[in-house]
Amino acid sequence: MLFKHWFWFAILASILVLAMFAGRGILQQRSSDVAYQALSDCGVEVKDPEDCQMSNGMSIPHNLRGLDFKGVDSCKVLAELRPGFCGEIGWLSFYRSGVYSRLSRNSAIPTFPRCEFLWVGEINGEVVQIPRLDFVPTLRELRLVTCELEQSALADLEGMELLYYVSLHGVQNVGEILNSLGTKELISLALLECEVPVDFLARIDDADSLEFLDVRFSSISDAHLELLGKYKHLKRLNLTGTDVTDASVKLISECDSMQMLILSGTGISQSGLEVLSKELPESKILF
C-alpha cells in the first residue's frame, strides 16, 4: 500500500514539473556544443524536417526563434544549419562566445535573412574583432560589447537600412561606427564607457528620429553637447559619470520633449538642477 501511494505521488510530481515548464513557454535542449532555446508560443515552423537535422544526429526544435551561444567557444552546428532553418531565426547572441569570431573568419557562418537582433561581446575580457555583418541583412537592433569593427563590417553596417537601436559598450572605433550610422533613422543610441569623438552628434544626420541617448561613463564633456539642441524629440538622456557641467544646462533645457534626465556623477550643480527643473517641468530628473 505504501509503495502504491509513493507511485502516484511520483506521477503527480512529474506532471507538476512538466506543467511548470509548459507555463513558462520555454523548453531547453542542450548539447556539448550549444544551448538551444525553443519558444513554444512563437508560431514558427520549419517546412523541411531535414533543415533541423545535424550531422551528430541531434534535431533542433522546429519552432526555434533564437540561438544563444553564451560561454560557448567551439561549435560546428552553426555552419551546418540549412537555409530553411536559418530563415526563421529572429535573434542571435554571441556574447562571451568564440563561435562568431571563429566562423566569420572562414565564411562558414550562414545568412539569417530575418534576424532582427544581434549581440556580440567580449571573450574573457579581450576585444572581439568583427570582420563582417552581412549575415544579418535585416538587422534592427545591434548590441556590441568590447568589440572593434573592421572595414568590411563597417561597410555592412552602412547598408543596414532597418537599424534603429545601437548599443556600444567599451567599443574601440566609435567614430568610424558613427560615420557608418550617419544616415540611419536611429531611435536609440547607447555609447557606454566609450571614447567618443567631440563631434559625435554631428555625425548623426537625422536628428528628428533619436529619442534615447545613453552615454554613461563615456568621455562626454560640455564640448560634446554643443549640437544637443537640435534633437527636439529626445525623450531620455543619461549623462551619468560624464564631465558635463552647468555650461550645458541651457543646451539640455532646449530639449522640449525630455521625459527623463539622469545626471548622477556629473558636474552639474544644485543651481543648474533648479534651472533644468524649471525649464523642463514635465521631465523626471535623477541626480
To the nearest 10°, the Cα dihedral for 123, 129, 131, 134? 50
Instruction: Give the separation between CA 149 and CA 152, rounded to whole angstroms.
Output: 8
**pLDDT truncated to tens, each residue of the chain (287 aa)?**
544 555 555 555 555 544 443 433 332 333 333 333 333 333 233 334 444 455 555 556 656 788 887 776 655 656 666 666 777 789 988 888 777 776 666 666 788 899 999 999 887 778 888 888 999 999 999 999 999 999 999 999 999 999 999 999 999 899 999 999 987 889 999 999 999 999 999 988 777 899 999 999 999 999 999 999 888 899 999 999 999 999 999 999 999 999 999 999 999 999 999 999 999 999 999 99
Q: Mark 27-49 as b/e (b = at least 16 C-beta within 10 Å).
A: eeeeeebbebbbbeeeebebeee
> What's the pTM?
0.79
The set of cell numbers assigned to 231 is 534633437
In angstroms, how far is the first alpha carbon of the chain from the final one? Answer: 67
Residue 126 is given by DSSP the state B
Of 98, 157, 159, 107, which is closest to residue 129 (Cα–Cα)? 98
User: Span 23-286: which CATH code?
Assistant: 3.80.10.10
- 265: exposed, middle or buried (Cβ count in 10 Å: 0-12, 13-18, 19+): middle
Is the Cβ–Cβ distance between 105 and 82 less than 8 Å?
A: no
